[in-house]
Amino acid sequence: MNKKSGSLDRDRVRGLLAEGGARPEDLERYEEYMSRRGFFGRVGAFTALVGFGAGADAALRGLLGQGLIPVAWAEAVETGAMQSKPGMTVHNTRPINGEFAPHLLNDDITPSERHFVRNNGLVPNRAEKQDPQGWALTVDGEVDKTLKLTLDDLRQMPSVTKALLIECGGNGRALFDPPVRGTPWKNGAVGCSEWTGVPLKEILNRAGLKNSAVYTGHYGEDPPIGDHQAFSRGIPIEKAMDEHTLVAYQMNGQDLSALNGYPVRVVVPGWIGSASQKWLNRIWIRDQVHDAEKMTGYSYRIPAYPVPPGSRPPKEDMEIATAWIVKSMITRPEANININVGDKVPVRGHAWAGEREVRRVDVSTDYGLNWKETKLRKPSSKYAWYTFETQVAFPNKGYYEIWARAEDSEGALQPARQPWNPKGYLGNVMHRLPVLCAV
Ligand SMILES: Nc1nc2c(c(=O)[nH]1)N[C@H]1C(S)=C(S)[C@@H](COP(=O)(O)O)O[C@H]1N2
Ligand SMILES: [Mo]
């Protein structure tokens, strides 16, 4: 491969990485990795890996701009696949976790290549190869009849297609103060795609639930990392029997992608994303609350009462996090754009409220002193996000923030400051979008 193509050479890359804020130790590890792999002779592979057709230089700048650190990137290459999506802000690569900036999530239906990725383990080989051979879904436990369903069996059952929102329980974690450990999601660990599959209820009815059935336990094919148990969570039978809870085999009209759960996943809309098991291969019907590792302790749990920021309540006082709470996101304009005094700036975004409806969304351009109601559009189905639209203008040059505040059907509002919990779950502080105004 021609070393000059994309004008990517060692010094250039080093310069860009340093410019992007890489630490000296990152640079060293990166250099070492690069020379070990003879990387600098394979510029073409580089551009292909990051999924940009443009110059390698620009691609690398873009990656750094999205906060992708070079070591993580080098490791991603090392594991054999840059399992990313173009434009995704990658937080880690093993496991891979990434989100999209709000302005990339403007669509009413989130395209598959813009749906965030949240993994606890590795992506199964079967998913990488898109190979359904030998896959089956087992339904066992508190049922009259154990089921073993192939992909064809599922496809032959009556299916539904619905726009449904999935949001990671940790979305917004980066806005917690004091900071909490865990993937530092900003606003983008949320998506509202169109899912096709069989209502879980139909499958459970076919198996026949015993009276003792109270909870589901979901299992998937993803190999765990380190000494963790395989990722497994579950939901109460009532939510499993909701007609919107799906065992999905298509996303936006196509087979699921490797990263989003091929061949089959659960979609539990309105609830924290961890309930929506990917790479599903077993549903264990339990006679008690599911008790796998990720159901216990502090995992996906919130305190039963408000706690002082930075404190750690006893385990017994932690409750399982279930439905999301009222929230909104501004998708237009893009953060930090330059506008002119007096210009009418279109503002747009989405709002959602877990099990509730959204009543209204207001915006403010003066730190919440004055609010303006927006035009709110109801989604096509329950558990899809609403869309709001309005316009704003600024009277003087300077720095401004556009704030959005949604209100749900019970009158609950998004807070101006983020209430705190030890693992940074259910963050719903108002989205603040900075803009710069010039004369
Ligand atoms: N098998 C399996 N399913 C999983 C996970 C996982 O690590 N393994 N992560 C969960 C979490 S925490 C979230 S937020 C959603 C994310 O779904 P997505 O990656 O399709 O956006 O998947 C859930 N399902
Ligand atoms: Mo999550």
Cα-to-centroid distance, 209 and ligand 2 (Å):
28
Distance of CA 388 to the CA centre of its chain: 21
Cα-to-centroid distance, 279 and ligand 1 (Å):
9
Mutate to test the pocket of ligand 1, among 168, 193, 249 (most ligand atoms within 8 A of CB): 168
Q: Are 307 and 274 in contact (CB under 8 A)?
A: no
Cα-to-centroid distance, 285 and ligand 2 (Å):
22
Which atom of ligand 1 is closest in space to residue 279's alpha carbon? 1
Tens of pLDDT, residues 85-112:
888 888 887 788 999 999 999 999 999 9
Residue nearest to atom 20 of ligand 1 (CA): 260
**Long-range contact list for 50-55, CB < 8 A, 24+ apart?**
50/82, 50/84, 51/82, 51/84, 51/85, 51/86, 52/86, 55/6, 55/7, 55/8
Per-residue model confidence (pLDDT) at position 31: 65
Mean pLDDT of 291-304: 97
- Please indicate whether residue 131 or residue 87 has the higher confidence score (pLDDT): 131
User: Where do the DSSP E strands lie in 215-344?
Assistant: 215-220, 246-251, 254-255, 265-267, 280-286, 301-303, 318-320, 327-332, 338-340
- The H or E element containing residue 98 is strand 96-99
Q: Which two tokens stand for residue 69?
A: 């650190």
Q: Which residues surround ligand 1 with Cβ inside 6 Å?
A: 115-121, 166, 168, 220, 222, 231, 260-261, 273-274, 276-279
Among 45-59, 70-84, 203-217, whose mean pLDDT is lowest?
A: 45-59
- In angstroms, rounded to a whole number, what is the distance separating the alpha carbons of residues 274 and 269? 11
Instruction: Note the pTM of the prediction, 2 decimals.
Output: 0.85
- In angstroms, rounded to a whole number, what is the distance separating the alpha carbons of residues 225 and 414? 36
Tens of pLDDT, residues 172-225:
999 999 999 999 999 999 999 999 999 999 999 999 999 999 999 999 999 999
Cα-to-centroid distance, 42 and ligand 1 (Å):
33
Strand pairing class (431-438; 338-340)? parallel
Please tell me which of 58-62, 83-87, 373-377 the model is most confident about, judged by mean pLDDT: 373-377
Ligand nearest to the CA of 110: 1
Residue nearest to atom 23 of ligand 1 (CA): 274
Cα-to-centroid distance, 386 and ligand 2 (Å):
21
Q: Are 87 and 100 in contact (CB under 8 A)?
A: yes
Cα-to-centroid distance, 190 and ligand 2 (Å):
10
3-state secondary structure of 47: helix
pLDDT of 50 strictly over 70 = no
Q: Which residues are CB-neighbours of 133 under 8 A, at least 6 positions away?
A: none
Give the closest residue to 178 by CA, choosing from 311, 82, 81: 311
Percent of the chain past pLDDT 70, that is, above it, reads 81
Tens of pLDDT, residues 345-375:
999 999 999 999 999 999 999 999 999 999 9
Q: What is the mean pLDDT of the chain?
A: 88
Which atom of ligand 1 is closest in space to residue 219's alpha carbon? 1
Q: Are 414 and 361 in contact (CB under 8 A)?
A: no
Percent of the chain past pLDDT 90, that is, above it, reads 76
Tokens 């937080």 belong to residue:
91
From residue 290, alpha-carbon distances to 230, 271, 315 in Å are 14, 16, 17
pLDDT of 60 strictly over 90 = no
Residue nearest to atom 11 of ligand 1 (CA): 274
Per-residue model confidence (pLDDT) at position 85: 84
Strand pairing class (246-251; 190-199)? antiparallel
